[in-house]
Structure 1
């Protein structure tokens, strides 16, 4: 797997997590019967975004190491 595909996967996952949380948070109303489900979806989006950020961070570190080795 190349560094660019790692970064691309991380960015796509990050965007998906942000979208999941945003969609779940839109129209959030305490009186809504789907309140618990939306809260769970928001938490899932948060976890997905954090995991994706870690993938991006790791890809960045790998790239930095490769540059240091080649330099």
Structure 2
């Protein structure tokens, strides 16, 4: 797997995590005072999953960047 594909995968995963969080956040914002608590809890879980996905993707990007830096240093 090339470094560029690792970085690309990390960016795609970051976007997916952010989309998941945005959708869940919109659902949470739309709940009223008399809303179903289980639906609210499910949306809160999705919001947390989105945050975890984005954090994992950030680590993939960080690792890919470090690998690229190492390769550049080896070539120099």
TM-score by length of 2: 0.89
CA RMSD in angstroms comes to: 1.0
Instruction: Map Cα deviations across residues 26-50 of structure 1 (whole Å, 9 max, x no partner).
Output: 0312633210000000000000000
Match of 1:60 among 58, 65, 68: 65
**Which sections of structure 1, spanning at least 5 residues, go unmatched?**
none
**Which sections of structure 2, spanning at least 5 residues, go unmatched?**
none
Aligned residues: 71
| Residue 15 (structure 1) aligns with | 15
| Residue 5 (structure 1) aligns with | 5
TM-score by length of 1: 0.95
**Distance (Å, rounded) in 2 between the aligned partners of 1:4 and 1:64:** 12
Asked which structure has the greater CA Rg, the reply is: 2
| Residue 26 (structure 1) aligns with | 26
